[in-house]
């Protein structure tokens, strides 16, 4: 009985890794460390970055000017990762992130992308009808708020710095972090304080 052939893409990847190791460009230890870093990454990292930006003006300025440097300042290695841009929501503009070609995503600060982010339906529809897609998440924005859809690519990744909810003055970083979910960080949801959520 013959062994099923491995997918060509997997075979190609294994051949590339073997060639890099043979030339001394990368070691098994470096690969393992990189994989461990990727596995540790989660939306909590992005949430902590947002919470700090909400409370620290100097960090906010760094986050908006150089997202990768801001991540490094929080102890996140961005070595080998594409540049990270951070889009600031305002009272008149809301950002939504998509990768129209595949599933480019800032994994170092958000972890693995959710299945819906990679789906053709999301990638196609959010560009054509962003308000309708947002409404399906329960996110309804006033008509005077511009919805800007931004394409994440292999060369540049994005995340959102949402507006800080009113009524959160004096909150701790941990309390603020709890408002910032993965969906908030890609712009399909808004940070909602528990009291406001309970009243809805």
User: E strands of 20-151, at which residues?
Assistant: 84-88, 93-98, 146-151
Asked about 119 being catalytic, the answer comes back as no
Asked about 77 being catalytic, the answer comes back as no
- Which comes out higher in pLDDT, residue 1 or 9? 9
pLDDT at 198: 42
Q: What is the DSSP letter of 48?
A: H
Q: With 80 as the cut, is the pLDDT of residue 63 above it? A: yes
- Residue-wise pLDDT for 73-107, tens only, equals 999 999 888 999 999 999 999 999 999 998 899 99
Residue 8 banded pLDDT, cuts 50, 70, 90: low
Q: With 50 as the cut, is the pLDDT of residue 19 above it? A: yes
Q: Which two tokens stand for residue 95?
A: 């950002």
Question: Apex CA 122: angle with CA 117 and CA 124, to 5°?
Answer: 130
Mean pLDDT for all residues in the chain: 87
pLDDT at 17: 72
**Stretch 24-41: mean pLDDT, rounded?**
62
pLDDT at 183: 97
Rounded to whole angstroms, what are the CA distances from 133 to 123, 163, 180, 182? 10, 20, 19, 16
Q: Record the pTM.
A: 0.81
- Residue-wise pLDDT for 145-186, tens only, equals 999 999 999 999 999 999 999 999 999 999 999 999 999 999
- Which comes out higher in pLDDT, residue 42 or 1? 42
Q: Which of 9, 42, 77, 99 is catalytic?
A: 99
pLDDT at 34: 57
Q: Which of 9, 42, 77, 102 is catalytic?
A: 102
Supply the CATH classification number for the domain 42-199.
3.90.330.10
> Domain spans of the chain?
10-38, 42-199
pLDDT > 90: what percent of the chain? Answer: 72
């Amino acid at each position: 009985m013959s062994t099923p052939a491995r997918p060509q893409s997997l075979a190609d990847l294994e051949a590339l890794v073997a060639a890099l190791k043979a030339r001394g460009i990368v070691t098994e230890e470096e690969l393992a460390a990189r994989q461990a870093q990727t596995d540790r990454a989660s939306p909590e990292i992005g949430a902590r970055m947002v919470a700090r930006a909400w409370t620290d003006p100097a960090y906010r300025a760094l986050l908006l000017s150089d997202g990768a440097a801001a991540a490094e300042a929080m102890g996140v290695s961005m070595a080998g990762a594409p540049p990270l841009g951070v889009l600031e929501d305002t009272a008149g503009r809301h950002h939504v992130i998509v990768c129209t070609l595949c599933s480019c995503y800032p994994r170092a600060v958000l972890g693995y992308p959710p299945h819906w982010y990679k789906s053709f339906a999301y990638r196609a529809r959010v560009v054509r009808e962003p308000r309708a897609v947002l409404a399906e998440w329960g996110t309804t924005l006033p008509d005077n708020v511009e919805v800007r859809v931004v394409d994440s690519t292999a060369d540049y990744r994005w995340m959102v710095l949402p507006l800080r909810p009113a009524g959160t003055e004096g909150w701790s970083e941990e309390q603020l972090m709890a408002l910032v979910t993965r969906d908030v960080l890609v712009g399909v949801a808004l940070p909602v304080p528990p009291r406001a959520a309970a009243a809805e």
